[in-house]
């Protein structure tokens, strides 16, 4: 959709400038319509204050807002707000604070609120922004000009990004949109299904506090890519801003299992001023450092299916069930759970205890998300994937104008295709991943003298994740330790596993399906003897002495996680000849790559 260009006015953010903004706008713009769009229409504004800058590090504190009267609102910030809040006082006292005022002929209240919200999502994902000051999330539902929202926003951002002196504050949209923070941001616009789920969670939280209950549990379920993480992030942000009846804020923790996701949530919390390393942490750390005698108000658990149900060195509780231990330490727990993403025998619930838990909390405390938010594909493609994952059958791969599935006869060709997709950064990050069917150890080197543990088939090989030497910083000056595996540029030369990509989106994903996945009598089967994933294939001894093996569930879950990473495309190669032939037959000539 073609839309008009925005009007962007710049000025120093100071009391003297604020008093004459309207007059300066009239002097700057000869077109009376442009004057009106900035003075009389709703506008969006951005206040930025550069901090310490260097060759490798640029630092900004930013505020985003919207108003129907820019002069009055700026004076309110400089006077009343600066007296009540230290963040506004800091902006007022800064001698280098600066402001953009953004107008557009089609701006109305709903549209400017949506633009403001989207601007916060983008800026909170910019590495150079260390603090983003805004106390609200304002995504709108439907309104008359809603279809113009994205093209107008894109025009605004691109105009700001074209300003050379602000290239670190406004990098290219493609750079931002591929970041893990952007995808997990609380400013993502929720679907109607997610909004309904959010309202139910907030209502239940209020009820728990009204009744002074403790140990309550809400389960958010749904398949991979259903939008569970975005929902959690949004609810967490909303509650972090609320003040209870006693004038105190809710005490919240966000518990994250993967190191990869932990970095993402810690950066979000830090930038938005809603948490730190004491409130965004791993479940074992929370259990070890918080007491049931002083429970937090709300504990969020992202990917609760990865919580342990067995002790280890870092988790020694007699309860031997992390979710139950977390419930002891929180008035209410909001947990995301997907049984099809349980990956380890240490995460399996004994006997039928998880089903009993669901019965005990009641159906009103279980929220199921049904929409597929990650994979941008037509219905028939989603059905094809579901049949592979849930029914172990490979039907004919459907035609899809939005989603690309290709089968490669050689893994080398698939790797080169993924590298080519990744080189086009306009479409985000693409990576290779594999089933855990090749040996790997973080504690030792391969016995054959190789430099890396590798995924290998014939003459082709790729190092497993986290082995290729990395510089301290990227070319843009971003520290590698602050980036998830997929975001690190050098990992295009590595191959990921479920342990590095679970919970993340990729633009295109190339899946090397290892020898543990076979086709027998037209059905996909999983041969545990061919897997190197000890956590999935080894027996587990339960408290009653019973030995059980869960490979028949855990290995399909591993494949499920890998096949559902790609937003726009899935590339496939299988080691098993029968499975490879079935995939080639399903793809047809046009989508089989020599």
pLDDT in tens, 344-369: 999 999 888 899 999 999 988 999 99
pLDDT for 247 beyond 60: no
Which neighbouring-strand residues pair with 566?
506
Tell me what pLDDT residue 242 has.
Answer: 78
pLDDT (average), residues 311-340: 93
In tens, the pLDDT along 433-448 reads: 999 999 999 889 998 8
| Domain residue ranges in the chain | 7-171, 192-369, 379-591
pLDDT (average), residues 399-410: 96
- 389's enclosing H/E stretch is helix 379-391
Beta strands in 264-420 (DSSP E): 280-281, 296-302, 330-337, 366-369, 404-408
- 266's enclosing H/E stretch is helix 259-272
Torsions phi, psi for 193 (to 5 deg): -65, -45
Tell me what pLDDT residue 479 has.
Answer: 81
pLDDT (average), residues 505-522: 97
Sign of CA dihedral 575, 581, 586, 590: positive
pLDDT (average), residues 254-283: 90
Tell me what pLDDT residue 400 has.
Answer: 95
pLDDT (average), residues 257-280: 88
Percent of the chain with pLDDT over 90: 74
Tell me the three-class secondary structure of 271-305, residue by residue: HHCCCCCCCEECHHHHHHHCCCCCCEEEEEEECHH
- Decide: 558 and 373 in contact? Cβ < 8 Å: no
Tell me what pLDDT residue 592 has.
Answer: 85
pLDDT band for position 308 (cuts 50, 70, 90): very high
pLDDT for 244 beyond 60: no
pLDDT for 475 beyond 60: yes
Q: Is 363 left (phi over 0), alpha (psi -120 to 50) or beta?
A: alpha
In tens, the pLDDT along 183-209 reads: 999 999 899 999 999 999 999 999 988
pLDDT band for position 234 (cuts 50, 70, 90): very high
492 CB contacts (<8 Å, ≥6 apart)?
418, 419, 422, 430, 431
- Decide: 48 and 107 in contact? Cβ < 8 Å: no
Query: How far is 259 from 281, CA to CA, in rounded Å?
Result: 10
- Decide: 33 and 1 in contact? Cβ < 8 Å: no
Structure tokens at 191: 């679907």
Tell me what pLDDT residue 246 has.
Answer: 59
Tell me what pLDDT residue 135 has.
Answer: 63
pLDDT for 245 beyond 60: no
Looking at CATH, the fold of the domain delimited by 379-591 is given as Rossmann fold (3.40.50)
pLDDT for 425 beyond 70: no
pLDDT band for position 8 (cuts 50, 70, 90): very high
Query: How far is 124 from 281, CA to CA, in rounded Å?
Result: 20
- CA 368 vs CA 5, 220, 403: distances in Å: 41, 6, 25
pLDDT (average), residues 153-157: 97
153 CB contacts (<8 Å, ≥6 apart)?
114, 115, 118, 119
**Which of 50, 86, 369, 340 lies closest to 219, judged by CA?**
369
* Of 210-214, 306-310, 458-462, 567-571, minimum mean pLDDT range: 210-214
DSSP string for residues in 414-429:
HHHHHHHHHH-GGG--
Q: Which CATH architecture has domain 192-369?
A: 3-Layer(aba) Sandwich (3.40)
Tell me what pLDDT residue 335 has.
Answer: 97
Q: Which CATH number fits domain 7-171: 3.40.462.10, 3.40.1440.10, 3.40.50.300, 3.40.980.10?
A: 3.40.1440.10
Model pTM score: 0.91
Number of neighbours of residue 158 by Cβ within 10 angstroms: 14
The angle formed by the CA atoms of residues 211, 216 and 218, to the nearest 5 degrees, is 120
Tell me what pLDDT residue 209 has.
Answer: 87
Query: How far is 175 from 67, CA to CA, in rounded Å?
Result: 29
pLDDT (average), residues 493-505: 92
Q: Do domains 7-171 and 379-591 have the same CATH topology?
A: no
């Amino acid at each position: 959709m073609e839309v008009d260009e925005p009007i962007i006015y710049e000025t120093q953010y100071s009391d003297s400038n604020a008093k004459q903004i309207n007059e300066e706008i009239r002097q700057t713009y000869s077109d009376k319509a442009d004057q009106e769009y900035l003075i009389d229409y709703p506008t969006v504004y951005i206040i930025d204050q550069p901090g310490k800058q260097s060759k490798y590090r640029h630092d900004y504190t930013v505020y985003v807002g919207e108003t129907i009267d820019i002069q009055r609102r700026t004076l309110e910030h400089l006077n009343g707000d600066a007296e009540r809040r230290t963040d506004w006082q800091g902006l007022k006292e800064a001698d280098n604070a600066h402001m953009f005022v953004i107008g557009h002929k089609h701006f109305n209240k709903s549209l400017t609120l949506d633009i403001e919200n989207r601007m916060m999502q983008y800026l909170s994902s910019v590495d150079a922004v260390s603090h983003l000051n805004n106390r609200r999330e304002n995504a709108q539902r439907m309104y008359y000009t809603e279809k113009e929202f994205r093209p107008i926003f894109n025009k605004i951002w691109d105009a700001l990004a074209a300003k050379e002196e602000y290239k670190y504050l406004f990098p290219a949209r493609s750079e931002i949109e591929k970041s893990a923070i952007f995808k997990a941001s609380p400013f993502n616009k929720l679907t109607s299904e997610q909004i309904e789920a959010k309202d139910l969670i907030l209502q239940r939280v209020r009820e728990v506090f009204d009744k002074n209950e403790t140990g309550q549990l809400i389960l958010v379920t749904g398949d991979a890519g259903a939008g569970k993480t975005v929902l959690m992030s949004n609810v967490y942000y909303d509650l972090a801003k609320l003040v209870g009846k006693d004038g105190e804020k809710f005490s919240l923790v966000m518990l994250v299992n993967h190191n990869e996701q932990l970095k993402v949530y810690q950066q979000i919390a830090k930038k938005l001023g809603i948490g730190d390393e004491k409130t965004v942490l791993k479940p074992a750390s929370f259990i070890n450092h918080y007491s049931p005698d002083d429970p937090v108000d709300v504990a969020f658990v992202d990917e609760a299916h990865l919580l342990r149900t067995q002790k280890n060195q870092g988790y020694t509780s007699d309860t031997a069930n992390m979710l139950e231990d977390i419930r002891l330490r929180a008035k209410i727990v909001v947990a995301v759970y997907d049984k099809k993403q349980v990956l380890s025998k240490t995460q399996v619930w004994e006997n039928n205890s998880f089903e009993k838990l669901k019965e005990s909390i009641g159906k009103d405390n279980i929220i199921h998300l049904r929409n597929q938010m990650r994979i941008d594909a037509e219905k028939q493609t989603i059905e094809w994937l579901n049949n592979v994952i849930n029914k172990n059958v490979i039907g004919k791969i459907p035609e899809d104008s939005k989603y690309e599935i290709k089968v490669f006869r050689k893994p080398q060709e698939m790797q080169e295709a993924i590298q080519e997709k990744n080189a086009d950064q306009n479409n985000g990050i693409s990576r290779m991943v594999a089933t855990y069917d090749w040996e790997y150890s973080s504690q030792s080197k391969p016995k054959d003298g190789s430099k890396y543990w590798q995924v290998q088939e014939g003459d082709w090989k790729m190092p497993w994740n986290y082995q290729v030497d990395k510089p301290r910083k990227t070319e843009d000056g971003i520290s590698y330790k602050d980036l998830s595996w997929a975001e690190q540029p050098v990992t295009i030369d590595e191959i990921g596993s479920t342990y590095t990509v679970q919970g993340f989106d990729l633009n295109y994903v190339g899946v090397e399906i290892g020898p543990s996945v076979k086709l027998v009598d037209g059905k996909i089967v999983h041969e545990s003897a061919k897997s190197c994933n000890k956590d999935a294939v080894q027996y587990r001894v339960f408290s009653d002495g019973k030995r059980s093996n869960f490979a028949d569930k855990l290995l399909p879950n591993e494949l499920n996680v890998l096949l559902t990473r790609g937003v726009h495309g899935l590339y496939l190669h299988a080691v098993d000849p029968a499975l490879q032939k079935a995939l080639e037959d399903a793809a047809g000539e046009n989508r089989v790559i020599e």
